[in-house]
Structure 1
Amino acid sequence: MRDVLAFITLMACLTVLVGSLIALVRPIPQIGLGSRKRALGGIGVAFALFVVTAIVIPAPKETHTETGPASEKKVATGTAPAQALNAEQESVVSFMRYAIMQNLLCRGEAEQTQDQIDKVAAGRARVIDAYDEAKRAIRDCGKASAEFARPEVLKTAPAVYRDSGERALKACRAASEGRGAAMQLAQKILDGDDRLASASKYKELLSTAKSSEATCRMELLGMADSAKIPDEEVDFAQIR
C-alpha cells in the first residue's frame, strides 16, 4: 500500500513541478498558475509533495549475509586450487621451456629480419638494416641448433620420456637450421641476388622451418600428456 501511495505522490510532485516551472516563463491561468507568484507557490507545493513521498516510501529490505560454518563450508567447496606438480613433471616442464625458449630466440630474430625486409621494400628502412638483422638471426639460430644437439640437454628430461624428447629436439633443431639457412639466403638477396629461384627457396625454407617447429611442439605436448601435466602448465608450448 505504501508503494502505491509513494508512487502517486511522486507523480503529483513531478506534475506540479513541471507546470510551475513552465508558468514561471509563461503563465497558465487555466490551471491556476496565472502569475509568477502562483508559479513559485506551485514549486513550494511540489517540494512538499516530494517530502511526503520520501516519508511514505518503504525502506529497502535488508539483505542477510550468511556467516558461520555454513557459509565457510560453501567457500570450502568452491574451485579447488591447482595440484602441485611432482618432481618428474617439473623436469618435463623445465625441458619443454628450455626447448621453446631456444626456438623462440631463433624465430624472433628471423621474424625481425622479415619485418626489416618488408620495410626496405616499402622504402622505410635501409638495406643494411635488414642485412644486419639477418646476421643476428644467423647467429641466434646457430646457437639454438647447437643447443638442441647437445646430449646434456636431452638428459635433463626424465629417462622414460627421452624418446619423445629426442624427437622434439630433432624437430626443433631442423626448424632452427632451416631459419638459419633462410637468413643466409636473405643476405644474398639483399646483396643483389634478384633471381626468382632464390626468392622461392627463401619462402620454402621458412615454410619448412615452421612445419618443423610445429612437429617439435607436438612432441613436447605429447610428453606433457604422457606425464599427466595439466594443460595450463604447458600452455606456452601450444602451436601458435
Structure 2
Amino acid sequence: MPTAACGINCDVCGLNKRGICSSCGSGISRQGMEKIAIQTKLFGQPCPILACAHMNHLEFCMRDCNSFPCENFENQGYPFSQGFLNMQRRRLAEISTKAIPKISGAGDWIVVPSEHWDNLQKRDPAEICNIALAQLETTGDIRLRVLNTDFFIHPKNRSIRAMTREKGILIRDPLLELIIIVYLTQITSAPLRHEKAGVKDLKSAHFFQGPHELEMEPVLARYGNDASGFRKVAGQLDGRFISSTADAGVVFSPFP
C-alpha cells in the first residue's frame, strides 16, 4: 500500500520512485511489519509513528487515532511541520470531534468499561504481581510480559504502555487494553492445570460463532504457503514450537 501509517502517500514521493526509499505501508499491513523489522535491524529501533500504529492496530494515524496529533509527531519533527500539526489540533477542537471508536464484528462500538480499571485499583498490586508472574515497578506500574513484549500498566493513571527498544508506546487499542485489565483483575492463585483447551472446550464456546467467530482467513492468506515466515514471526512472539505437527505448529502463552 503506497500510503504510510503517518499519512504520507509514497506514490507521489520522488525518493520512492527512484528506489531510494520504500513505502512504510499502513500500521496493519504486512509491508508495515517488514518496514519495522528493517528499521530495527538498520537503526536499532523503528519509526515510533509506525511502531505505535502497528502496536495499536491502527491503519492510518490521522484517520483512525483519537490522539492525533500526538507526541510521536511532535517529537519526530517530521513528516509534518509544527504549523500543520497546530492546524489539525485547532480544527479538531473546533468541531468537537467525538472519539473514533473501534467496531466489533457485530457492529458494536468497543469501549473499555471504567469499572474494570476501578476493580484493578482496588486490588493489591503486590498480590497481583505475585500471582500473575508480573513485576511491581518503583513507579507503581505493573510490568507484565505478553507475547515477548513488556507492558507497563499504571492503575492510577489508567494507562498502558508497551516498551519497545527502551521507548514506551501508549496503548490505545481498546481490545488489548480490555484483555490485559481483565486478566489482572480476574487472576487468582488457583494452580494451573496445563491442559490444552480448544474454543469448543470453553464454557462460553457459543460466543465464538457468527460475527464473533475467530478470523483465521488473514492468517491463512498470509502464511498458508509460507511456513518459514510463520515460524519466524512465531519465534518473535516467543512461541514454543511443536515438532509433532505437519508443516509448522506453535504454542503461544499470551499471559504468564
Q: TM range, normalised to the smaller chain?
A: under 0.3
Q: Highest Rg: 1 or 2?
A: 1
Return the structure number with greater strand share. Answer: 2
Greater relative CO (CA pairs within 8 A, separation 6+): 1
TM-score, length basis structure 1: 0.17
TM-score, length basis structure 2: 0.16
